[in-house]
Chain A
């Protein structure tokens, strides 16, 4: 499977990494190329298509599935588009706005999304633009407004339900599990539920135990839903658009601490594949699987590791349900060592499921047991130092890699 990246922003985490390994042109020179783009194959080799060689480009394009990246959006355009810089929450808003423009059945419901502009400003300005019927301020009633979103989706609307904090969606668990996930199946395919449930989760800065929950571990068993986690402005916008266009219920996990990440994203329209993992940094020695905020801890650790002589391959799994076992498998077959770094709890988290999935499918390729670094099985404490110890820190990642690779 090839992954087509538009714009170099996709490959640059907020922390830099050693670009020499990737043999990419520097960001500045990239923008001067004529409508070229990068093809990073999952085996780590890189193909640069230079110039407006449209025939060659089309031959290398791979439509992976129905939700393909619109790589052929701008055919041989001679003027280069440097893209524009924005913060992650603005990227989410852009994606949402573009989809609301494109499709009049898209509506947003949530607490304080309308006049207040959203508690993290993701929906700022949308209420004045689209009116009260498309951007709906709900009372504090997660169970019912999630149910209402699902009911509206049954008729063909495409609601985007925002949980002000993912933890609040626990109140809507019945609706998400029984109605959202199962209705397509129990109705024999009659009803589609094209709903998007999104919101920030994860451990923030001393927000307290109940506002620092990681719900991906609770939702992962629900059949019928898809879960994705965004980590950069590029994939936030792409995943938001893909989730809205998807016919399946998608839960989009954002992270409280990532909203202010600045990145340059392309001007053209693009979508990210919902079931695909993102190769952040190809390498040879060990596969590090991560998602959401832990990606940045991993990249920080990767800097240290590279200085020590290791060559980690970092994959942002992005798709939490279903797992992109193809990308992950190819990586495992190459490196034979796996480290999973996640923010979920140790027990029953995404890492636990991923460990099981990899062991079942790729056991023969592993040289060492899979190491999974997760948060501690404790409610997140308020005190800053204690909170730091609940989540995985870069130093722990470095130590784990060293132990794994010895």
Chain B
């Protein structure tokens, strides 16, 4: 099986080998009317069993919206607010931050509709916002309040939004992949022409159920796209210590795979668009997003015991997803520096407002303990530990 690199014929002269230092932009032939050319990706696409031809360059509004959304998410799911709330013990338990990986969620959202389904593991704050979740819902759920998306009963790892096709939010990694294949099965069953994106990490890529699900999806030609968000560390275990074959896009064997620079939102977008068209015709595909997380695995992990601070800051300088888009926008005069700063200020204000509002939201009522154990209407009883006192009959 040959690594079918994107040949020069399919790759137009838009993408050339990477420049010696970042962040030089190579602007090749700009077509006379805008849209502008995409930012050069440092890591080219690598593929298995497929020949991804590039799609045309993105437009200005897209670039702007990409910046806006990713900036929001950086602040929201990222490094500013949750740690503060965590130290104040308003957020407890597990809290997994997505900063550094925003390009994956942003790029994916840009390529799909709300009718397509996304399912992911526990690092789901940004994906949830991308699907239409509000900041208020996010922070309320993190703090366990009623205004949260799961009424405060899910927590950081269980964000769901059914009407926007976001299916979570799962704590046991690997288990969401068969669920995702089931979503794709339902989409095929109802002939919807929609697809499912099932995301997992490099750690979960070694789960057996993933391969089981992949086998069944390939057998039944299900429209599922398996995305491996490879941030190179499974909690504290580096990729090379956990996987014999770190080429996760090749793990499919009989299923095509594509490796994408996961820090480049535009590349992600192109890959997801290609993947969506591919799976509707041909069955599943694996996308590996080469990305990085700046924070540790979760709040309790400093993130520096298994990697050096130099590595983290190096990636942040060279490959930061938001910086990339910012530079493209500035280079093409889509917005001024000041406008972007104002954007960020507004977003920060929004986030602070959302946090304040979330703090106002009350904790769930005691009766909520027994609500939604079963679907209402069947008269089933749910008992607490002490049968005599904490008994609820669901209507």
What is A's interface to B at a CB cutoff of 8 Å?
64-67, 105, 107, 133, 136, 138-139, 141, 143-157, 174-175, 178-179, 183-192, 223-224, 226, 246-248, 274-275, 322, 357, 360-361
Tell whether, in the assembled complex, residue A136 and residue B220 are in contact, meaning their CB atoms are under 8 Å apart.
yes
Q: How close is A216's CB to chain B, nearest CB, in angstroms?
A: 17
Nearest residue (CB) in A for B214 is A144
Tell whether, in the assembled complex, residue A185 and residue B182 are in contact, meaning their CB atoms are under 8 Å apart.
no
**CB contact under 8 A between A139 and B212, given known A144-B178, A151-B186, A188-B154:** yes
Tell whether, in the assembled complex, residue A226 and residue B216 are in contact, meaning their CB atoms are under 8 Å apart.
no
Once bound together, how far apart are the Cα atoms of A105 and B152, in whole Å?
31
Q: Which residues from 167 to 193 on chain B have a C-beta closer than 8 Å to any C-beta of chain A?
A: 167-172, 175, 177-183, 185-190
Give the most central of A154, A188, A248: most B CB within 10 Å: A188
Q: How close is A139's CB to chain B, nearest CB, in angstroms?
A: 6
Tell whether, in the assembled complex, residue A151 and residue B149 are in contact, meaning their CB atoms are under 8 Å apart.
no
Q: How close is A181's CB to chain B, nearest CB, in angstroms?
A: 9
**Ordered nearest first, which 5 A-B pairs have the shortest CB separation?**
A151-B182, A147-B178, A148-B182, A141-B212, A144-B212
Q: A105-B189, A139-B212 are in contact. List 19 more A-B contacts (CB 8 A).
A: A138-B216, A144-B178, A144-B181, A147-B175, A147-B182, A147-B213, A148-B213, A150-B178, A152-B185, A153-B182, A156-B186, A174-B175, A179-B179, A183-B168, A186-B150, A187-B162, A190-B162, A226-B374, A322-B380
**CB contact under 8 A between A179 and B175, given known A188-B150, A188-B153, A275-B379:** yes
Tell whether, in the assembled complex, residue B160 and residue A187 are in contact, meaning their CB atoms are under 8 Å apart.
yes
Nearest residue (CB) in B for A187 is B160
Please pick, from B170, B172, B380, B388, the residue contacting A275 in the complex, using a CB distance under 8 A: B380
Tell whether, in the assembled complex, residue B216 and residue A157 are in contact, meaning their CB atoms are under 8 Å apart.
no
Once bound together, how far apart are the Cα atoms of A107 and B213, in whole Å?
18
Question: Cβ of B93 < 8 Å from any Cβ of A?
Answer: no
Q: How large is the interface on B (under 10, 10 to 19, 20 to 34, 35 or more residues)?
A: 35 or more
Tell whether, in the assembled complex, residue A188 and residue B372 are in contact, meaning their CB atoms are under 8 Å apart.
yes
Nearest residue (CB) in B for A136 is B220
Question: Cβ of B334 < 8 Å from any Cβ of A?
Answer: no
Tell whether, in the assembled complex, residue A189 and residue B371 are in contact, meaning their CB atoms are under 8 Å apart.
yes
**CB contact under 8 A between A175 and B160, given known A139-B219, A144-B212:** no
**CB contact under 8 A between A188 and B160, given known A139-B215, A175-B178, A248-B375:** yes
Once bound together, how far apart are the Cα atoms of A143 and B174, in whole Å?
10
Tell whether, in the assembled complex, residue B160 and residue A190 are in contact, meaning their CB atoms are under 8 Å apart.
yes
Q: Which residues of the other chain, B, contact A189 by a CB distance below 8 angstroms?
A: 151, 371-372
**CB contact under 8 A between A64 and B379, given known A155-B187, A361-B387:** yes
Please pick, from B183, B212, B388, the residue contacting A143 in the complex, using a CB distance under 8 A: B212
Once bound together, how far apart are the Cα atoms of A42 and B111, in whole Å?
61
**CB contact under 8 A between A148 and B189, given known A138-B216, A224-B373, A226-B380:** no
**CB contact under 8 A between A223 and B183, given known A143-B208, A188-B151:** no
Q: Which residues of the other chain, A, contact B172 by a CB distance below 8 angstroms?
A: 174, 178
Once bound together, how far apart are the Cα atoms of A14 and B179, in whole Å?
42
Tell whether, in the assembled complex, residue A157 and residue B378 are in contact, meaning their CB atoms are under 8 Å apart.
no
Q: Which residues of the other chain, A, contact B187 by a CB distance below 8 angstroms?
A: 155
Tell whether, in the assembled complex, residue B216 and residue A141 are in contact, meaning their CB atoms are under 8 Å apart.
yes
Tell whether, in the assembled complex, residue A184 and residue B380 are in contact, meaning their CB atoms are under 8 Å apart.
no
Tell whether, in the assembled complex, residue B216 and residue A186 are in contact, meaning their CB atoms are under 8 Å apart.
no
Please pick, from A144, A157, A191, the residue contacting B186 in the complex, using a CB distance under 8 A: A157
Please pick, from B150, B213, B381, the residue contacting A190 in the complex, using a CB distance under 8 A: B150
Once bound together, how far apart are the Cα atoms of A178 and B375, in whole Å?
16
Q: How close is A65's CB to chain B, nearest CB, in angstroms?
A: 4
Question: Cβ of B96 < 8 Å from any Cβ of A?
Answer: no
Tell whether, in the assembled complex, residue B183 and residue A152 are in contact, meaning their CB atoms are under 8 Å apart.
yes
**CB contact under 8 A between A191 and B160, given known A144-B209, A149-B182, A155-B186:** yes
Give the most central of B117, B160, B170, B180: most A CB within 10 Å: B160
Q: Which residues of the other chain, B, contact A150 by a CB distance below 8 angstroms?
A: 178-179, 182
**CB contact under 8 A between A151 and B180, given known A143-B212, A185-B373:** yes
Tell whether, in the assembled complex, residue A178 and residue B175 are in contact, meaning their CB atoms are under 8 Å apart.
yes
Once bound together, how far apart are the Cα atoms of A179 and B173, in whole Å?
12
Please pick, from A151, A192, A361, the residue contacting B179 in the complex, using a CB distance under 8 A: A151
Q: Which residues of the other chain, A, contact B372 by a CB distance below 8 angstroms?
A: 184-185, 188-189
Tell whether, in the assembled complex, residue B375 and residue A139 are in contact, meaning their CB atoms are under 8 Å apart.
no
Q: Which residues of the other chain, B, contact A149 by a CB distance below 8 angstroms?
A: 182
**CB contact under 8 A between A187 and B158, given known A145-B178, A147-B213, A224-B373:** yes
Once bound together, how far apart are the Cα atoms of A174 and B208, in whole Å?
13
Tell whether, in the assembled complex, residue A143 and residue B209 are in contact, meaning their CB atoms are under 8 Å apart.
yes
Tell whether, in the assembled complex, residue B189 and residue A157 are in contact, meaning their CB atoms are under 8 Å apart.
yes
Q: How close is B63's CB to chain A, nearest CB, in angstroms?
A: 33
Nearest residue (CB) in B for A321 is B380
Tell whether, in the assembled complex, residue A144 and residue B380 are in contact, meaning their CB atoms are under 8 Å apart.
no
Tell whether, in the assembled complex, residue A154 and residue B182 are in contact, meaning their CB atoms are under 8 Å apart.
yes
